């Protein structure tokens, strides 16, 4: 007997993750592959997190702490807040869905931007919520255009700051003005997945003053190198967090992730080393990309958006054959672009060598 999905499911375009290393090796018969597609930490995971996971392995026959008490306590100490200001999630993706399910009714809508993290739109669609998107302006969120989309049925606004995939950011004055102009009851969700790489002085201090109508999302996947454990958290006022906790599934964050997160917060040396590698790597790549004559967007994150001048998918496929995985941007409406994760010195050198070779062949 034939089954049919819920109305609207067939219109959803699934999120496509970065191509795995092992799959690329099998497909092209390669012995060595360098993945520079998913904005992962080139140094690997925090050593303190690894040690904490090893220590906790003998306890995985038990369910994890449903409330994540120890990790919330560590987060509260790290940020100078209270445990009740935090909600733990199985990565930021779960938290995005949690926010949408908690605060939006079926007839309410969500505002965000084009050229931003695709999961805002995908998760809104899966929950049958209308999403309205303003165009980017010079690779940045156009906050005035977004304000024009806000109507009496708008409940949530999603802003990735810094933005993925452009690597640009909104400063504290821009964010403060935007929030002040929103109607009462509209919640701003600030997705700060890449905040640990910031090297500018006017970035917003989002957690300095917690408000009921602002939710901040953060993750351990990037700077702390824990992408494989899927661990993120949302921060807001105690009241707003209490609503999210009513909807959150129990045991959504596993035991190993909780232990690794708490340990990673204490690994300040690893975080400093990661920032140094990324900042130096970006400067190296900027110089190399400038030599090719192509355009790129200067970034405050651990990735760079590159205008190849050719179809990004073709460049992506050519890179794959050479053992380098980058991210093509067609799903974001940027057909000529690729997104490059900043790697270690070896990875960055190999990418430039491969990229210059591909450009030379395409320009013939």
As a whole number of angstroms, the distance between CA 74 and CA 223 comes to: 17
| pTM listed for this prediction | 0.95
- The whole-number average pLDDT for the span 309-327 is 96
Quickly state the pLDDT bin for 3 (edges 50, 70, 90): confident
Q: Is the pLDDT of residue 15 over 90?
A: no
Q: Is the pLDDT of residue 1 over 80?
A: no
In the block, which residue shows the tokens 């303003």? 134
Q: Where are the alpha helices (DSSP H) in the chain?
A: 21-28, 47-56, 69-79, 91-103, 119-126, 143-149, 172-181, 238-247, 255-265, 268-292, 312-321, 345-363
Orientation of helix 91-103 relative to helix 119-126, angle to 10°: 50
- The whole-number average pLDDT for the span 198-219 is 95
Q: Residues of 319-354 as b/e, b for ≥16 C-beta within 10 angstroms?
A: bbebbbbbbbbeebebebbbbbbbbeeebbebbbeb
CA atoms within 13 A on the CB side of 63: 6
Quick: pLDDT tens for 119-159.
999 999 999 999 999 999 999 999 999 999 999 999 999 99
As a whole number of angstroms, the distance between CA 307 and CA 296 comes to: 6
Q: What share of the chain is helix, strand, coil (3-state, %, to 5)?
A: 45, 15, 40
* DSSP per position, 274-310: HHHHHHHHHHHHHHHHHHHT-EEE--SSSEEEEE-SS
Burial of 151 (0-12, 13-18, 19+ CB in 10 A): exposed
Please list the residues that pair with 295 across neighbouring strands: 307
As a whole number of angstroms, the distance between CA 218 and CA 206 comes to: 11
Q: Which two tokens stand for residue 229?
A: 């454990």
Q: Which two tokens stand for residue 146?
A: 């977004």
Quick: pLDDT tens for 321-339.
999 999 999 999 999 999 9
Quick: pLDDT tens for 160-196.
999 999 999 999 999 999 999 999 999 999 999 999 9
Quick: pLDDT tens for 46-102.
999 999 999 999 999 999 999 999 999 999 999 999 999 999 999 999 999 999 999
As a whole number of angstroms, the distance between CA 260 and CA 171 comes to: 31
What pLDDT, on the 0 to 100 scale, is given for residue 156? 98
Domain spanning 9-44+269-363, CATH class: alpha beta
3-class DSSP assignment, residue 266? coil
Q: Which two tokens stand for residue 36?
A: 């520079």
User: Is the sign of the CA dihedral 18, 23, 25, 28 positive or negative?
Assistant: negative
Higher-pLDDT residue of 10 and 210 is 210
> Which DSSP state fits 358?
H
CATH number for region 47-267: 3.40.640.10
Q: What does the radius of gyration of the chain's CA atoms come to, in whole angstroms?
A: 21
Strands 187-191 and 214-219: parallel
Neighbouring residues of 270: CB distance < 8 A, sequence distance ≥ 6? 43, 46, 47, 48, 224, 225, 264
What mean pLDDT value characterizes the chain?
96
What pLDDT, on the 0 to 100 scale, is given for residue 286? 98
What pLDDT, on the 0 to 100 scale, is given for residue 364? 79
Contact 151, 107 (CB under 8 A): no
Q: Map out the domains of the chain as residue ranges.
A: 9-44+269-363, 47-267
As a whole number of angstroms, the distance between CA 298 and CA 287 comes to: 12
- Range with lowest mean pLDDT among 20-29, 122-131, 223-232: 20-29
What pLDDT, on the 0 to 100 scale, is given for residue 10? 80
For the chain, the residue count is 364
């Amino acid at each position: 007997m034939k089954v049919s999905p819920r109305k609207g499911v067939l219109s959803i375009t699934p999120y496509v993750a970065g191509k795995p290393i092992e799959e690329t090796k099998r497909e092209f018969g390669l012995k060595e592959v360098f993945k520079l597609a998913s904005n992962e930490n080139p140094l690997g995971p925090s050593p303190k997190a690894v040690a904490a996971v090893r220590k906790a392995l003998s306890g995985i026959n038990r369910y994890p702490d449903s409330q994540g008490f120890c990790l919330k306590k560590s987060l509260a100490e790290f940020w100078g807040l209270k445990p009740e200001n935090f909600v733990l999630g199985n990565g930021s993706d779960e938290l995005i869905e949690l926010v949408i399910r908690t605060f939006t009714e079926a007839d309410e809508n969500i505002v965000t931007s084009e050229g931003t993290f695709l999961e805002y739109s995908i998760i809104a669609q899966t929950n049958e919520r209308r999403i309205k998107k303003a165009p980017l302006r010079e690779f940045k969120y156009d906050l005035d255009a977004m304000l024009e989309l806000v109507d009496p049925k708008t409940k949530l606004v999603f802003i990735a700051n810094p933005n993925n995939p452009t690597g640009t950011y909104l400063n504290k004055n821009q964010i403060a003005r935007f929030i002040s102009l929103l109607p009462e009851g509209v919640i701003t969700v600030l997705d700060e997945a890449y905040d640990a790489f910031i090297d500018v002085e006017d970035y917003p201090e989002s957690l300095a003053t917690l408000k009921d109508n602002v939710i901040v999302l953060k993750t351990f996947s990037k700077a702390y190198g824990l992408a494989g454990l899927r661990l993120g958290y949302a921060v807001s006022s105690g009241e707003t967090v209490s609503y999210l906790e009513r909807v959150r599934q129990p045991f959504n964050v596993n035991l190993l992730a909780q232990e690794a997160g708490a340990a990673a917060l204490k690994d300040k040396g690893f975080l400093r080393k990661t920032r140094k590698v990324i900042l130096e790597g970006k400067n190296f790549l900027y110089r190399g990309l400038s030599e090719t004559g192509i355009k790129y967007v200067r970034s405050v994150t651990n990735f760079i958006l590159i205008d190849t001048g050719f179809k990004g998918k073709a460049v992506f496929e050519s890179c794959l054959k050479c053992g380098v995985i980058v991210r093509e941007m067609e799903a974001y409406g940027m057909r000529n672009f690729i997104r490059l994760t900043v790697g270690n010195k070896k990875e960055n050198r190999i990418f430039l060598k491969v990229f210059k070779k591909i450009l030379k062949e395409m320009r013939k």
